[in-house]
């Protein structure tokens, strides 16, 4: 299997959809020697903020000299981002080798009349094999969907189960109320592990505490309201929390203080479990942590921000950050959404802050909401909306609308599936425009 064949196989796996439950995943892992049983985990669930917390924790642990596996989903720029050791993506060669091994096991299962593993199940097995092969000291693991029946929940050796902000999302699969959703996510809590949770709505917090008590787990709240001397900025931010004074972070957004506080509590719990980190290592790791596509500054003059706000809770936080960081500045949106997300609520929560909205179609054929349909929905709330034929066109139109106004801010948000391509276009815009201009002259 070469890399092109590997990517074709991954695309073929999409036909198996999303299936909740652990039976198929357990069978697949068993055929691969249960690599997850040789690893220790920080397991993170929640609706928003999982990736940011993962970035803080894994970067701090790397600074402390531990070999750290990261498993994330979805990727933003490169498929291989899903599988990282010490912040480095899996090589193409290693991915092909491990994916071939997993494919043989998956196809053997199907040949015996068992369910074929889904794409996420195959990818999760690839991650476990990679991390075992690399002898990772600790793996920071992000759930894909929910918790109890998520493919990642075949793990047994959970040191810390962590919960970021929990809100209403994927209600067709996880439940109708916050309590039901939190109970599903709480399924990652293992016997006597540490549990760290951001402050939640009372209904969600009650469900998490009950699940922790049932597992005799030690429960701690990462309470961002205890953060002091918070100083915000569009390049770096600082805050103090308990014994930590003036912690610097480079990830932006008002909500990042909450994510950073969760990470600090996780690091504290790991220290009590035999994974010590010095204060200097912690400070370096927190300052160096990055996470693409989360209120991420990808261009300047005018300021260009990419953010993966694709549900109600994330859109409320995005709107809050826009009001805080950019009062009285012209705002231009680029928006791309999936049809199975709460796009109407996302529009309502954010539209009043934009001068103009440009819509795009994400590159996810089976789930993408077409730019025209999204534009029609946005026009119910906003008088200036344009549907772009491509992300490239959307970027050029946004720059055109911004004109010479250096105070204007362009914000691209929604599905992460299109943000990677958009970041590439913004980063290489001058080269792309020269190439296009050259071709037009030749024609």
Dihedral sign computed on CA atoms, order 23, 28, 29, 30:
positive
Kind of pairing between the strands at 194-198 and 158-163: parallel
pTM of full prediction above 0.75: yes
Task: Report the candidate in 35, 37, 32 with the shortest Cα–Cα distance to residue 105.
Answer: 32
Same domain assignment for residues 263 and 319: no
pLDDT at 144: 87
User: Each residue's pLDDT tens digit in the chain (443 positions)?
Assistant: 899 999 999 999 988 988 889 999 999 999 999 999 999 999 999 988 899 999 999 999 999 999 999 999 878 889 999 999 999 999 999 999 999 999 999 999 999 999 999 999 999 999 999 999 999 999 999 998 888 999 999 999 999 999 999 986 645 556 578 899 999 999 999 999 999 999 999 999 999 999 999 999 999 999 999 999 999 988 899 999 999 999 999 998 888 999 999 999 999 999 999 999 999 999 999 999 998 888 889 998 899 999 988 888 889 989 999 999 999 899 999 999 999 888 999 999 999 999 999 999 999 888 899 999 999 999 999 999 999 999 999 999 999 999 988 889 999 999 988 999 999 999 888 776 666 656 555 55
Q: How far apart are CA 271 and CA 276, in angstroms?
A: 4
Q: How far apart are CA 250 and CA 256, in angstroms?
A: 9
Residue 370 DSSP code: P
Alpha-carbon dihedral of residues 44, 83, 340, 399, nearest 10 degrees? 110
Same domain assignment for residues 73 and 138: yes
| End-of-domain residue from the set 288, 314, 331 | 288
Q: How far apart are CA 291 and CA 6, in angstroms?
A: 26
pLDDT at 436: 60
Residue 345 sits in a domain of what CATH number?
A: 3.90.190.20
CB 337 within 8 A of CB 416: no
Same domain assignment for residues 129 and 157: yes
Same domain assignment for residues 387 and 283: no
Same domain assignment for residues 196 and 102: yes
CB 292 within 8 A of CB 423: yes
pLDDT at 311: 87
Q: How many C-beta atoms surround the C-beta of residue 215 within 10 A? A: 18
Annotate 248-316 with DSSP letters as a single string.
EE---STTHHHHHHHHHHHHHHHHHTT----HHHHHHHHHH---TTSSEEEETTTEEEEE---SHHHHH
Q: How many domains does the chain have?
A: 2
Q: Which structural domain range is residue 392 located in?
A: 296-442
CB 413 within 8 A of CB 333: yes
Token digits for 368?
Answer: 């993408």
Same domain assignment for residues 323 and 275: no
Same domain assignment for residues 83 and 178: yes
Same domain assignment for residues 334 and 238: no
pLDDT at 437: 56
Residue 213 sits in a domain of what CATH number?
A: 3.40.1190.10
| End-of-domain residue from the set 228, 260, 288 | 288
- Among the residues of 215-250, which ranges form H helices? none
Task: Report the candidate in 255, 220, 221, 260 with the shortest Cα–Cα distance to residue 240.
Answer: 260
| End-of-domain residue from the set 264, 288, 312 | 288
Same domain assignment for residues 232 and 318: no
pLDDT at 253: 83
Token digits for 19?
Answer: 């299936």
Same domain assignment for residues 418 and 378: yes
Kind of pairing between the strands at 385-387 and 356-359: parallel
Same domain assignment for residues 330 and 218: no
Same domain assignment for residues 15 and 138: yes
pLDDT at 292: 83
* Longest distance between any two alpha carbons in the chain, whole Å: 71
């Amino acid at each position: 299997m070469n890399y092109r064949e590997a990517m074709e196989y991954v695309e073929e796996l999409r036909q198996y959809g999303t299936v909740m439950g652990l039976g198929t995943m357990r069978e697949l892992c068993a055929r691969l020697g249960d690599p997850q049983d040789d690893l220790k985990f920080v397991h993170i669930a929640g609706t928003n903020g999982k990736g940011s917390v993962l970035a803080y924790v894994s970067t701090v642990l790397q600074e402390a000299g531990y070999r750290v596996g990261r498993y994330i989903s979805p990727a933003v720029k490169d498929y291989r981002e899903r599988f990282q050791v010490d912040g480095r993506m899996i090589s193409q060669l290693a991915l092909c080798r491990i994916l071939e091994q997993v494919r043989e096991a998956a196809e053997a299962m199907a040949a015996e009349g068992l369910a074929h593993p889904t794409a996420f199940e195959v990818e999760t097995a690839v991650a476990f094999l990679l991390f075992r092969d690399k002898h990772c000291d600790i793996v920071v693991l992000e759930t894909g969907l929910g918790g109890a029946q998520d493919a990642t929940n075949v793990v047994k050796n959970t040191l810390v189960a962590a919960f970021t902000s929990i809100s209403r999302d994927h209600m067709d699969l996880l439940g109708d109320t916050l309590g039901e959703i939190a109970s599903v996510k709480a399924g990652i809590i293992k016997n006597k592990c540490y549990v760290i949770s951001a402050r939640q709505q009372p209904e969600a917090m009650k469900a998490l505490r009950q699940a922790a008590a049932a597992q005799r787990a030690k429960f701690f709240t990462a309470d961002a309201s205890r953060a002091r001397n918070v100083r915000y900025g569009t390049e770096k931010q600082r805050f103090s929390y308990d014994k930590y004074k003036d912690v610097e972070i480079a990830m932006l957004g008002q909500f990042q203080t909450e994510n950073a506080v969760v990470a600090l509590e996780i690091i504290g719990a790991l220290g009590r479990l035999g994974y010590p980190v010095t204060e200097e290592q912690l400070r370096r790791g927190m300052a160096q942590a990055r996470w693409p596509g989360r209120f991420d500054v990808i261009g300047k003059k005018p300021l260009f921000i990419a953010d993966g706000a694709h549900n109600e809770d994330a859109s409320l936080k995005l709107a809050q950050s826009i009001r805080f960081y950019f009062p009285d500045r012209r705002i231009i949106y680029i928006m791309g959404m999936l049809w199975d997300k709460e796009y109407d609520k996302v529009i309502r929560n954010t539209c009043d802050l934009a001068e103009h909205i440009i819509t795009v179609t994400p590159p996810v054929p089976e789930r993408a909401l077409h730019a025209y349909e999204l534009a029609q929905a946005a026009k119910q709330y906003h008088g200036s909306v344009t549907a772009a034929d491509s992300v490239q066109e959307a970027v050029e139109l946004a720059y055109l609308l911004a004109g010479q106004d250096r105070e204007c801010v362009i914000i691209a948000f929604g599905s992460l599936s299109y943000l990677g391509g958009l970041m590439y276009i913004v980063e290489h815009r001058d080269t792309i425009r020269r190439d296009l201009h050259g071709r037009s002259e030749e024609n």
